[in-house]
Amino acid sequence: MVKAVVLGAAGGIGQPLSLLLKANPLVTELGLYDIVNTPGVAADLSHISTPAKVEGYLPANDGLQKALTGASIVVIPAGVPRKPGINAGIVKDLATGIAKYAPEAFVLVISNPVNSTVPIVAEVFKKHNKYNPKRLFGVTTLDVTRASTFVAEILGDLSLSKEVVVPVVGGHSGVTIVPLLSQSSHPLPSGFAKESYEALVNRIQFGGDEVVKAKDGAGSATLSMAYAGAEFASKVLRAVKGEKGIIAPSYVSAEADTTGSAALAKELGKELSFFSSNVELGTEGVTKIIPLGKLTEAETALVKAALPELSTNIDKGVNFVSEAYKPQL
């Protein structure tokens, strides 16, 4: 039995993500929680002829507790797009609920800024003595999805986009997003110009802005994010079921695999408590953090440029929780 729970299920990401999870045959129960509209979303999805039993919950009548009880996997797209301060508080409160009612669940954080919200969840779990770093993931899959799509476009064959694999490492905002295009399963055309390479990197790093602009004030990336979140959730569920050799980039704690993260820190020349790199998934969550491997000069420069911001973002998340838990005078 696999109960998947979406926190923020009525939102722009939450609704299509819930639809995709309802369509996933590995999911047998789907709990939808939001501060508004989940009964309607749940009623609508419940008519779809797939195995998952769907329930919608609101905050009243212990809705969060009921939604989370028995959860195997919790995905969090709750929040307000591009409002990092508000999201920090929302994620802290939801993480408190998970620590209380679903401490064993795999937790996938979508709410931005992921570079800080994942450390927030970790710190809240630590406060409740429920932290398992192997089970906490920042979802960076949208960067990976964009990289695959844009490389396939450059190769002139969109049908390749499902097969193109580009590791995207670092973090999940702007310059902290580092695509390792030299390691793409499908190399860029020979003689690909330096300016074109830089434009491609920039497009992957700031793909979200492209969508915000096109939506003209009416939202940010929701459908592509829902797709990416559902893809990553599906990988976690397949690995938990016993499928071997599933590797995907994700923003995880160095504590999830101390050997792998030590090798990674050596490459980076810096120890960071969170970093996105390829991770191998298994029945317990993260089984291995995979170091970056050989980088080009340009990629080394991108990694170097990402580190200071990433470090600041992590500290922000950690400090947010320690401030919140400070005794009130």
Which residues are annotated binding-site positions? Answer: 8-14, 34, 87, 110-112, 225
258 φ, ψ (degrees, to nearest 5): -70, -35
Question: Please, which of residues 118-147 interact with ligand NAD by CB under 6 A?
Answer: 139, 142
Dihedral over Cα of 67, 69, 74, 77: its sign: positive
210 binds ligand NAD (CB under 6 A): no
Q: Which of 47, 128, 172, 186 is catalytic?
A: 172
Among positions 6, 67, 114, 169, the unique one binding ligand NAD when judged by CB under 6 A: 114
* Shortest reach from residue 12's CB to ligand NAD, in Å: 3
C-beta of 8: minimal distance to ligand NAD in Å?
Answer: 3
**Token pair for 13:** 């990401």
How many chain residues interact with ligand NAD (CB under 6 A)? Answer: 33
220 binds ligand NAD (CB under 6 A): yes
10 part of the interface to ligand NAD, by CB under 6 A: yes
Among 18, 24, 72, 87, binds ligand NAD (CB under 6 A): 87
Annotated binding site for NAD(+): 8-14, 34, 87, 110-112, 225
Burial of residue 156, with CB atoms counted within 10 A of its CB: 0-12 exposed, 13-18 middle, 19 or more buried: exposed
Q: Tell me how many helices (H) and strands (E) the chain has.
A: 11, 11
Question: Does residue 81 interact with ligand NAD by CB under 6 A?
Answer: yes
Q: How far apart are CA 304 and CA 178, in angstroms?
A: 10
Q: How is residue 280 written in tokens?
A: 């191998």
C-alpha dist (Å) from residue 85 to 13, 81, 314, 316: 19, 11, 14, 10
E strands within 150-206? 168-170, 177-179
Tokens of 268: 């980076």
Q: Is 172 a catalytic residue?
A: yes
Active-site residue numbers?
172
Interface residue list for ligand NAD (CB under 6 A): 7-8, 10-14, 33-36, 77-82, 87, 90, 93-94, 110-112, 114, 139, 142, 172, 219-222, 225
